[in-house]
A and B are shown apart, each in its own frame.
Chain A
Amino acid sequence: MKPFLFGLLVIGLLAWAPLVLNDYGTGLLLGLTGYATLATAWAMFSGPTRYVSLATVAFFGIGAYTVAVLSETLPYPLVLVVAALIGLSVSLVVGLATLRLAGVYFVIFSFGLAELVRQTVTWYEVNVTGTLGRYIFLPLEARHIYWQLLALLVLTLLIGIYMRKSRIWLALVAVGDDEVAARHAGVDVTRTKLALFALSATIITLVGAIQAPRWTYVEPTIVFNPTISFLTLVMALLGGAGKLWGPIVGAIPLFLLFEWLSANFPNHYSIILGGIFILIVFAVPNGILARLETLGQRRKGEAQ
């Protein structure tokens, strides 16, 4: 009961925050919540299975673009549903085609997918609709967007908690360790991977859709920016992709750092960020949380 009440309290505080924060603070919180959700959703599939996906921005962008295209024709909640359905369908098709690929081939494919989607959307806008950018006029303030993201993050965490108690988590970790052993234990490896990839991709699509009105003006290079994929991945790895709270623990410092760098070094921040990525992979390969755990155990060991 205690963690439940504590959780409610934290959610309450976070929901209340934009009422007292200024615009900058609310915007910061919004961006952070967006990345925390992206990283948590990414780790839901990639953490246990170790299928490193760089397709995050493909789905994020699909979500954002769906809102840009449909926001004037459909009521907003329906637009979100349509975006989620498109993300789900694309992820099922892509997953069926690629989840047989192992290791580095999957990484490359997922990166290629994001580029493919971006180029396709650009081509379509230029040649068919004759527009390159779109305006989103939705009566949503930053805090409205933030509340939606917060709700999605809480939902994502609840799914994560539930998954870790159910047999699917065992199957996913087994897939990451040894697919052959998993199969002969009775796990339908293909279906398990596909289901989780699709779930993760749908949440990522929703993040893009919810965040879209923030931009007002949207074009493919903005919403399909590959930095989003890399940042998500590194946040999850920094905190620990195998742990429920890992991606959030990684998202907080990296997001703040990213904000600071892009404000102060607008021309060089991607180089600096690249260096930081490399450092993280070398210094904390299993994430901060796992590192803290080993430190904690060592301390306990010394005390005995």
Chain B
Amino acid sequence: MSEVLKVDGVSRRFGGLLAVNNVSFAIEPGQIVGLLGPNGSGKTTMLNMISGALKVSGGQIAFQDQLVTGLPAHKIAKRGVARTFQLVRSLPSLTLTENVLISAAYGRERLWGAAALDKVAENLALVGLEGRGDEPVADLTYIDLKRMELARAMVADPKLLLLDEWLAGLNPAELQIGVDLIRRLQQRGITILLVEHIMDAVRATCARCIVMSAGAVIADGPTDQALADPEVIRAYLGDDDA
């Protein structure tokens, strides 16, 4: 297999706003790629289109050499694309285990019963929530909710993991744990596309970065090179609240 993900001339329009403008890139298996850019540059919109939450206004998206453009989110999830959300989305009526179990039950392998519960426990342990499965998710702290989301994404054994500012809001110690965790996922052979504003975390995890500004890709290459690109520096400096 050549590329895990191939985005080809993809655009997305919201009324008069072109939030994503003719974006193309491809990701090789096993890579961790950073998707960077100032606020409002279209990163989340890009992830939403890859995961099927939003339809593209133009262009094509292929996952493992098959077109997925226009497929509903649950079908894309079943093919092996998992994601977390910029604003955590939990299922507050359910326990921690159940929040993760749903993704095992409806994911690629459709696990249920003891096999599914084992898998859930394994992934709760992976993110540092070992033995806490019976806790109601409504009682969890912010960082634990973020961990839950990662476990929910990982339990389906995804081929491609989309992380939308998963490290945001963590304190320095938690950040280090998060970075280590992402690196460990890579060792499992998972391809990761990661939206992130924390540059130290990007440098520590991504060999390659794609930088967007105002909906378009302005740089794409090895992390150091991409971050040193004059146009990237200009885009970030022009963004006062960054």
Contacts and interface: CB of A to CB of B under 8 A. Distances in A.
A180 B102 CA distance: 13
Nearest to A166: B112
A167 interface: yes
A178 B90 contact: yes
Contacts of A182: 91, 102
Contact of B78 (A167, A174, A178, A186): A186
Contacts of A23: none
Contacts of B152: 185
B93 A177 contact: yes
Contacts, number: 77
A230 B77 CA distance: 39
A183 interface: yes
Interface residues of B, number: 28
Contacts of B85: 180-181
A55 interface: no
Interface in A157-196: 166-167, 170-171, 173-174, 176-178, 180-189
Contacts of A176: 93
Contact of B91 (A167, A174, A188, A189): A174
Given A186-B107, A186-B156, A181 B89 contact: yes
Given A183-B74, A189-B74, A173 B103 contact: no
B91 A177 contact: yes
A167 B112 contact: yes
Interface of A: 166-167, 170-171, 173-174, 176-178, 180-189, 242
Contact of A184 (B83, B90, B94, B108): B83
Given A167-B105, A184-B53, A187-B74, A177 B83 contact: no
Given A178-B91, A185-B102, 15 more contacts: A167-B105, A170-B105, A171-B102, A171-B105, A173-B98, A174-B102, A177-B93, A178-B90, A181-B90, A183-B52, A183-B77, A184-B51, A185-B156, A186-B108, A186-B156
A184 B107 CA distance: 9
Contact of A180 (B53, B92, B105): B53
A185 B106 contact: yes
Contacts of B102: 167, 170-171, 174, 182, 185-187
B153 to A, nearest CB: 9
B68 to A, nearest CB: 14
A278 to B, nearest CB: 25
Interface of B: 51-53, 72-74, 77-78, 82-83, 85, 89-94, 98, 101-103, 105-108, 112, 152, 156
The list of the 5 closest CB pairs from A to B, nearest first, reads: A186-B106, A181-B89, A185-B103, A167-B105, A177-B91
Contacts of B108: 186
Contacts of A174: 91, 94, 102
A178 B106 contact: no
A83 to B, nearest CB: 33
Contacts of A171: 102, 105-106
A180 B88 CA distance: 11
B147 to A, nearest CB: 15
A177 B138 CA distance: 11
A167 B82 CA distance: 19
Contacts of B73: 180, 183-184
Contact of B94 (A166, A173, A188): A173
Contact of A173 (B77, B89, B93): B93
Nearest to A183: B73
A167 B73 CA distance: 19
18 contacts: A166-B112, A167-B102, A173-B91, A173-B93, A178-B91, A181-B90, A183-B77, A184-B51, A184-B83, A185-B106, A185-B107, A186-B74, A186-B78, A186-B102, A186-B106, A186-B156, A187-B74, A187-B102
Contacts of B98: 170, 173
A47 to B, nearest CB: 11
